[in-house]
């Protein structure tokens, strides 16, 4: 089992470990029993992950003497809202949860974001642990303490910064992950290559087929590299005041597309389209060479991700949704652009005509 320590600012919660490996769930139960003692634990999961892993996971924790309950909610982004939070809070109260109760988020980014949000507000906060079961959650959402639910106006508009006490990343969960969901995770991995690690980007260009087989040690190394990149950025800018914005490469566009599609475009698909748009915009503005923008698009296509914006979405609707971005300042939407692969930067104002031109070029 590999271990990465996230060292946070002294004023915030204590630092925590990300443990990564394959078939580490039994050891996880022992570590929780030893390092994160509590009278009562509640596993929060969705109905898909619950039916696959719920019973076994609960049994593993009970075997080491822990008092555990499980709460499930319907899988999918549509559940990432305040009404799910209210339902879970009610369930927690029925189960006798109090300030000493430990929450365990077992699932993808939706479960992680919802559980983190509840943990940050339930009885003015209770501790929680992330056990990510999708590739998106393993390389991204389980680390860094951003919690949120969506509002009808846009994604993640209600949320907190609240760090977990630990993260356990078990690659064996990926065996049951559908290909489309695995590809969504590849979008986030490609993002790390683009913003911070050209060598990893090249590795993916050369070995995408092997990575897609899920079995390889290569995938373990890549997941570890992504966790290290994210933790380094979070350590410098926990509250998203500057450097952490670069993790949002492609996300401003991605969130807009997810929202206007009513989430039929998934997070990973939105991010993939957003990264292509950001690369094309960087090229149009004279920052990025054409061949670098092409390499990004080619790799995303190789990963099985979309590269065309569905015709039904108008440029005006996409631009309206872009304006709802949390990272805007006043009327100015900030975009992460590229000088080259491995060298992102943030711009505060982008010509509307250029944005429209990129959208039109990318239409099916």
Ligand X SMILES: NC(=O)c1ccc[n+]([C@@H]2O[C@H](COP(=O)([O-])OP(=O)(O)OC[C@H]3O[C@@H](n4cnc5c(N)ncnc54)[C@H](O)[C@@H]3O)[C@@H](O)[C@H]2O)c1
- Over the window 268 to 307, marking each residue x when it contacts ligand X by CB under 6 A and - when it does not, the resulting string is x---------------------------------------
Q: Does 72 bind ligand X (CB under 6 A)?
A: no
Euclidean distance between CA atoms 220 and 225, whole angstroms: 9
Q: Which stretch binds ligand X (CB under 6 A): 11-19, 76-84, 272-280, 354-362?
A: 76-84
Q: Which stretch binds ligand X (CB under 6 A): 10-18, 177-185, 272-280, 353-361?
A: 177-185
**To the nearest whole angstrom, how small is the minimum distance from the Cβ of residue 286 to ligand X?**
30
Residues 102-161 that bind ligand X (CB under 6 A): 107-111, 113, 133-134, 136-137, 140-141, 144, 146, 155-156
- Whether residue 207 contacts residue 325, with contact meaning beta carbons closer than 8 Å, is answered with no
Contacts with ligand X by CB under 6 A: the residue count is: 31
- Over the window 301 to 340, marking each residue x when it contacts ligand X by CB under 6 A and - when it does not, the resulting string is ----------------------------------------
Q: Does 25 bind ligand X (CB under 6 A)?
A: no
- Whether residue 151 contacts residue 239, with contact meaning beta carbons closer than 8 Å, is answered with no
Q: Whose Cβ is closer to ligand X: residue 261's or residue 292's?
A: 261
Closest by CA position to 135, among listed 81, 183, 194:
183
**To the nearest whole angstrom, how small is the minimum distance from the Cβ of residue 252 to ligand X?**
13
**To the nearest whole angstrom, how small is the minimum distance from the Cβ of residue 45 to ligand X?**
8
Q: Whose Cβ is closer to ligand X: residue 258's or residue 283's?
A: 258
**To the nearest whole angstrom, how small is the minimum distance from the Cβ of residue 38 to ligand X?**
23
Residues 6+ apart with CB under 8 A from 100: 38, 39, 40, 126
Instruction: Name the residue with the smallest CB distance to ligand X.
Output: 109
Closest by CA position to 233, among listed 135, 338, 109, 344:
344
**To the nearest whole angstrom, how small is the minimum distance from the Cβ of residue 136 to ligand X?**
4
Q: Whose Cβ is closer to ligand X: residue 246's or residue 293's?
A: 246
Q: Whose Cβ is closer to ligand X: residue 161's or residue 307's?
A: 161
Q: Does 184 bind ligand X (CB under 6 A)?
A: yes
Could you say which of 16, 57, 73, 173 contacts ligand X (CB under 6 A)? 173
Could you say which of 1, 38, 52, 347 contacts ligand X (CB under 6 A)? 52
Euclidean distance between CA atoms 187 and 307, whole angstroms: 12
Residues that bind ligand X (CB under 6 A): 46, 48-49, 52, 75-77, 80, 107-111, 113, 133-134, 136-137, 140-141, 144, 146, 155-156, 173, 176-177, 181, 184, 267-268
């Amino acid at each position: 089992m590999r271990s990465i320590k996230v060292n946070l600012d002294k004023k915030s919660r204590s630092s925590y470990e990300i443990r990564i490996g394959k078939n580490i769930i039994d050891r996880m139960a022992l570590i929780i029993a030893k390092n994160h003692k509590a009278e009562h634990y509640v596993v929060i999961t969705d109905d898909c992950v619950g039916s696959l892993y719920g019973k076994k996971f609960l049994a593993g924790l009970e075997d080491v003497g822990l008092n555990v309950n499980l709460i499930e909610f319907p899988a999918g982004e549509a559940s990432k809202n305040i009404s799910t939070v209210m339902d879970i809070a009610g369930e927690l109260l029925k189960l006798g949860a109090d300030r000493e109760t430990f929450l365990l988020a077992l699932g993808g980014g939706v479960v992680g974001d919802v559980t983190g949000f509840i943990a940050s507000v339930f009885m003015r906060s209770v501790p929680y642990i992330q056990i990510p079961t999708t590739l998106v959650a393993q390389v991204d959402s389980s680390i860094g303490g951003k919690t949120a639910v969506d509002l009808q106006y846009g994604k993640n508009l209600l949320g907190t910064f609240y760090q977990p006490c630990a993260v356990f990343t078990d690659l064996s969960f990926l065996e049951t992950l559908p290909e489309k969901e695995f590809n969504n995770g590849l979008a986030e991995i490609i993002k790390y290559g683009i913003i911070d690690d050209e060598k990893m980007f090249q590795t993916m260009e050369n070995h995408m087929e092997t990575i897609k087989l899920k079995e390889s040690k290569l995938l373990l190394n890549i997941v570890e590299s992504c966790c290290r990149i994210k933790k380094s950025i979070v350590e410098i800018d926990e509250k998203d005041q500057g450097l952490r914005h670069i993790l949002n490469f492609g996300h401003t566009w991605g969130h807009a597309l997810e929202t206007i599609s009513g989430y039929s475009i998934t997070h990973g698909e939105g991010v993939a389209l957003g990264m292509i748009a950001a690369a094309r915009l960087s090229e149009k503005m004279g920052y990025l060479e054409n061949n670098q923008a092409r390499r990004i698009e080619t790799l995303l296509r190789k990963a099985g991700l979309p590269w065309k914006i569905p015709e039904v979405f108008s440029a005006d609707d996409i631009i309206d949704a872009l304006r709802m971005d949390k990272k805007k300042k006043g009327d100015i939407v900030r975009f992460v652009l590229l000088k080259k692969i491995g060298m992102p930067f943030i711009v505060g104002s982008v010509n509307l005509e250029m944005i429209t031109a990129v959208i039109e070029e990318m239409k099916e």
